[in-house]
Chains A and B, each alone.
Chain A
Amino acid sequence: MSRVAALPVPPWRATVEAALARRGVVAGLKAVIVALALFPLATIAWAMLFDPAMLGANPAETIIRTTGDRTLQFLLYSLAITPLRRITGIGGLIKFRRMLGLFAFFYGVVHLSSYVGFDRFFVLDEIVKDVVKRPFITVGFAALVLMTPLAVTSTKGWIKRLGGPAWNRLHKLVYAVAILGVVHYWWLVKRDLTWPAIYGAVLAVLLAWRFMKARTVRTRTVRN
């Protein structure tokens, strides 16, 4: 770490750190994040109740696409926390990671439920057939299944019960989840891969940063 710390410490860092050490500030910011995070869902609900035309000609498709997009976005936000903490030196950012991850899971559940209800009309054998036969559904479903234990063990109690190292190892699953999520989108698209490619590129950067970090730490350890 010491060699990297040659970067000048930005003057606002201490201020931000101090602010994030205060409960009220964190609670306020969390409330803002909750409001922003629920906004897309609230919009959908409002449109369904009062103005269906807002959801376009194919409302079910709009809902499934929107919730799928949000799932991927929140996954990427949660994966961006660690690099951001390291780069800015603001450790307090960790306080928002669990919430971002849980929103990814939340939208993933809404996404799956809307597919089950709107697309498959709750017909179980069709759903099973889809999961088995359609690769993009298989990987999407797998991603959500893998996310479930992460959501369940996201509490302080579970961290204590599992112990830090084991908990950390378990939560490395999020990398697999994110990769599966991008693959799910990639395979779903008929021709225009622009958006899956954008998500893929962001994920690649976030994962590459971790890989480089792990490598520099390892070489430094060897040299010492």
Chain B
Amino acid sequence: MPVTRIPPVPSSEITPRDVWMNRRTLLAGAAGTIAASSLPGTAWAAPVIEPLSAPRNPAFAPSDQPTDKKLATTYNNYYEFGTGKADPARNAHTLKVRPWTVEIVGEVAKPRTVGIEDLLKMAMEERVYRFRCVEAWSMVVPWVGFEFNKLAALVEPTSRAKYVRFTTAARPDEMEGLRASRAALDWPYTEGLRIDEAMHPLTMLTLGMYGETLPNQNGAPVRIVVPWKYGYKSAKSLVRIEFLEKQPVSSWTKAAMHEYGFYSNVNPEVDHPRWSQSRERLLPGLFASRKTEMFNGYAEQVASLYAGMDLKANH
């Protein structure tokens, strides 16, 4: 029983469809210039793409040229918007990325909820990372963001924090894939890292790419990027970050345990049941002529995290 009765809206006050559709188009066009925060409580979605440039960190510039932006923003795995590679670019505009908050909780001294505008105020840098999908294709992406450990420092993880779980937004109203008759995955999407992996300087809390804020299909407004692991470890559109004592189970592991392990480090020697991981296709190339490198080429920086571990058992 509703406690209060919502007064009916007289039909004269209802905006005709063609009018609000026009407004929507206008907004979409103006999204680059109008700060979204100046439009509180807008009832319709408009992707927010704003310039977000930061100095490029020369330490992270692989020999390959960054992938064409159009390609990197139209070929995506983001099952919340459909399982086809072109689906997210087509459907993700319905996700409302303002206002947006990220809840940071768990084994921390100072749990807090941060707004996206606060995250955007942090000092940022651009890093060009290799991005390797478990499906044996790869891209090279200039991400904009900052090291995750800087965010962690704000909440002060306790000694009990051994793992971190990242949770993606799950909004059926705004995410077409969540309304599908058969769920592709167990929503919300969650991923996890060991605390030392999360705090590693390579792990980046990412708010932009190609000098702009993230497009929705690439995980707007904020995502994690872990360049030495397969792409699905880099969870998108984060609403919650939890520091945990026990190892969390991520969505893909839940879906197929023997196929997607907790670590999911890029490793040419450990085959996935569907894909040999020994080589990869650097998109948009035709041939998978490139040999996949251990830890996606970041072995020098991260191999020590796994010293003495059986990487086949801990795949």
Q: For the complex, give the distance between the alpha carbons of A126 and B85 in Å.
A: 26
Q: For the complex, give the distance between the alpha carbons of A192 and B183 in Å.
A: 9
Contact B255 A119 (CB under 8 A): no
How close is A188's CB to chain B, nearest CB, in angstroms?
A: 7
Q: For the complex, give the distance between the alpha carbons of A135 and B273 in Å.
A: 8
Contact B284 A117 (CB under 8 A): no
How close is A83's CB to chain B, nearest CB, in angstroms?
A: 30
Contact A58 B281 (CB under 8 A): yes
Q: State which of A61, A117, A129, A190 has its C-beta within 8 Å of the C-beta of B274.
A: A190
B91 at the A interface (CB under 8 A): no
Q: A121-B287, A136-B274 are in contact. Are A56 and B281 (CB under 8 A)?
A: no
How many residues of B sit at the interface, in one of the four size bands? 20 to 34
Contact A57 B75 (CB under 8 A): yes
B269 at the A interface (CB under 8 A): no
Q: State which of A52, A121, A134, A192 has its C-beta within 8 Å of the C-beta of B279.
A: A121
**Which residue of the partner chain B has the closest CB to A129?**
B276
Q: State which of B74, B255, B279, B288 has its C-beta within 8 Å of the C-beta of A57.
A: B74
Contact A134 B273 (CB under 8 A): yes
**Residues of B contacting A57 in the complex (Cβ-Cβ under 8 angstroms):** 71, 74-75, 85, 283-284
Q: For the complex, give the distance between the alpha carbons of A57 and B135 in Å.
A: 14
Contact B137 A58 (CB under 8 A): yes
How close is A29's CB to chain B, nearest CB, in angstroms?
A: 35
Contact A126 B278 (CB under 8 A): yes
B79 at the A interface (CB under 8 A): yes
Q: For the complex, give the distance between the alpha carbons of A57 and B184 in Å.
A: 23
Task: Give 1 or 0 for each of B55-77: 1 = CB within 8 Å of chain A CB.
Answer: 00000000000000001001100
Contact surface of B with A, Cβ cutoff 8 Å: 71, 74-75, 79, 83, 85-86, 136-137, 184-185, 255, 271, 273-274, 276, 278-279, 281, 283-289
18 A-B pairs, CB-CB below 8 angstroms?
A56-B85, A57-B74, A57-B284, A58-B283, A58-B284, A60-B286, A118-B288, A119-B136, A119-B288, A121-B279, A121-B288, A121-B289, A126-B278, A126-B279, A133-B271, A134-B276, A135-B273, A191-B83
